[in-house]
Amino acid sequence: MRGREPRIAVLGAGANGGGIGVDLVGAGLDVTFVEQWPEHVDAIRRDGLRVELPDRTTVERIPALHLCEVAERRDAFDLVLMLVKAYDAGWAARLLEPLLAEDGLLIAVQNGMTADLVAEVVGEDRTLGCVIEVSGELVAPGFVRRHTPADRSWFALGALGDDGHPALDGAAEVLEHAGSVSVVDDIRSAKWMKLVSNCTTLVSTAALGLPMIAALETPGMRDLMVRAGQEALEVGRGEGHAVLPIFGLAPADLARPDTVVETLLDTLYRGFVLPTTTTTVLHDWRRGRRSEAEQLNGHVVRLGARHGIPTPANDALMAVARGIERGDLRPEPRNAERLLALAG
């Protein structure tokens, strides 16, 4: 990046983007937020971004742009970290593409299989795939509560092409200010493994309106969650994705095919989940917003149908998720009985 500190944009300054951006600024990096919630931008400009961690609270004053101000910027960004919802990946990449340096990188730090969609917009040579395991919540404009500080946050980075990417190590060094980073050869499979984990936990716990630990302990729910993850794993095999270790696991930890999903589940809960942790899907539903359920469990259901792989647990989760997003249901513990009956 021409021998200077990279100009970094964090597109999406919410629960995860806000916390990561503050980590990077704390490390002395040049960061600008680009954010779609006007009140959040105004609060950051007025008071700085407050990030509450389990052991401390920090406030950083960081330049923040409204979406409508992106067209007014003249300086290109060397690195764009995109932390918007998976369903926003296409338009968000197009928004920043004119401001991405010719030798710059856009990293989709998102759930879901968005890396190739981003590459269609900015080019494979300017795209890296990323897996993220960070937990937080955007509590109010200008206020993020981050459950997992940098020493409990994890990322995987990888190139989309077979020959790697010359800027991969430099990008990893940037993200290491916000968590541990694994550089992987097959980022698509790594992202699918994260999708397996997401399909296990996000909608299932959110549907009950409970913290993740309380939902897991609800009778019948652990078995349902594992079934949903196992279905996602089988569909991934149908798509040609390898079973890869994530969350800092080693290949030997996933050597037994029949315990892969349970190993991921137990590793996630042991390393990244606090007693009060709730999922991004529940945060969205509580605010009356659409979640990423269609890009996660819904994606598995659609691909399962294409490959002839039954997905009854994911079918059940999507039936309840769609009911909640239509307003016919609400997130509550009695949805456990509904889910178990639907899944059979």
Could you tell me which residues are beta bridge partners of residue 107? Answer: 81, 128
**pLDDT score at 162:** 85
**pLDDT score at 163:** 84
| Tens digit of each residue's pLDDT (9 = 90 or more) over 208-248 | 999 999 999 999 999 999 999 999 999 999 999 999 999 98
**pLDDT score at 10:** 98
* Sequence-separated (6 or more) residues with CB below 8 Å from residue 332: 208, 209
Domains parsed from the chain with CATH numbers: 7-185 (3.40.50.720), 189-343 (1.10.1040.10)
In the numeric block, the tokens 């409970």 are attached to: 210
Give the containing element (helix H, strand E) for 7. strand 7-11
Give the containing element (helix H, strand E) for 39. helix 38-47
| Cα 326 from chain centroid (whole Å) | 24
Specify the 3-state DSSP secondary structure of 229. Answer: helix
Could you give the residue ranges of the DSSP H alpha helices within 239-277? 260-272
Q: How far apart are CA 260 and CA 143, in angstroms?
A: 36
317-320-325 Cα angle (round to 5):
120
CB 297 within 8 A of CB 207: no
**pLDDT score at 2:** 52
Within the chain, which residues score under 50 in pLDDT? 1
Amino acid of residue 70: V
